Amino acid sequence: MAAKVDRTGGGAGRLLTLAAFWLAGLLPFWIGALLAGVAGFPVSRPVVILGTLAVSALILAGAAAKDAFPTPTHCPGLDLPPETAGKLAYGALALAGFLGLLLQLVWHTGDLTLPLGGLGALGGYFSFAPPLNWRRRGWGEAVGGLCFGLLPLAAGFYLQCGHLVTEVVVYGLTLTFGAFNVFLVHGFPYPGEAAGPQGLAARVRPAAGALIFTLANILTIGGLVFLLLFPANPLPFRWTLWLLLGLAVVNQELVKRRAYLHETRLRLLNRLTLTLQVGLGLVFLVMTGQRL
């Protein structure tokens, strides 16, 4: 059996990457809650806190499931033994379910509260756990994109008011396409890797994976351009969208230069796509918060 190589830059690098993934999953939820306030609905702090804990529990369940049901991927895990990781995943799912019950039955957040949480579990825990195991089926990127984009953003908005608005879709889809590429590039095999990752990028030729990345990146850029051309009024810090566009163009240039064929450049692309995703969330959060 080939020795396991740490390609995340050591323990500190792994923790930093895990924190970035955690933020990438939580920021859309917070954006949704703030958008509810912008739309004129009262924002309940207890609901935000409980929802944050529930989303964090679902992210933890997904990360633990990666170790409990080892699936080759360059996405970071918790580096736990399978038995320990399995127990942690079940505990995290139970906590998320309990918090969902509190939100729906005590804080009366709406009938879709538990179904939204269930979708989060289907996309997080079952990205690696059987019988679904979306990563092995080549659906992990699409499911991960929804779970780190439109789904948590819609949940954050819905838990506050029980409704949805068009702006949720605009922000949510932009984040979804960005997250799709995060999971896609983490599925590109490193050159010479004996047992490469399983996912969409590993199931197709590298050139086809690059084309898929390009299409999703164009859609991400299109969402940012739409926000620039048809901004909400007011839209503070609108200029920061240009920074995100610039980073998206840099990522596209790396793909154009076939960075996925060289380990060092592929690792750089992994970091930059994750940076773009966290940047999207932070910029959308700040712009939305300034509108309150």
Cα 118 to Cα 147, 156, 187, 205, 268: the distances in Å are 11, 15, 25, 34, 34
Mean pLDDT calculated for residue range 36-65: 96
Mean pLDDT calculated for residue range 10-36: 92
Mean pLDDT calculated for residue range 130-149: 93
Predicted structure pTM score: 0.94
The whole-angstrom separation of Cα 112 and Cα 155 is 9
Give the pLDDT score at 71.
77
DSSP state of 190: P
The whole-angstrom separation of Cα 117 and Cα 55 is 8
The whole-angstrom separation of Cα 240 and Cα 13 is 27
Mean pLDDT calculated for residue range 204-231: 95
Determine the longest span between alpha carbons in the chain, in angstroms. Answer: 58
Cβ–Cβ < 8 Å for 236, 291: yes
- Rounded to 5 degrees, what angle do the CA atoms 159, 160, 164 make? 75
Distance, CA of 111 to chain centre: 24
**pLDDT category, 195, cuts 50, 70, 90?**
low
Please give the helix or strand (H or E) that residue 83 lies within, else none. Answer: helix 82-101
Give the pLDDT score at 138.
84
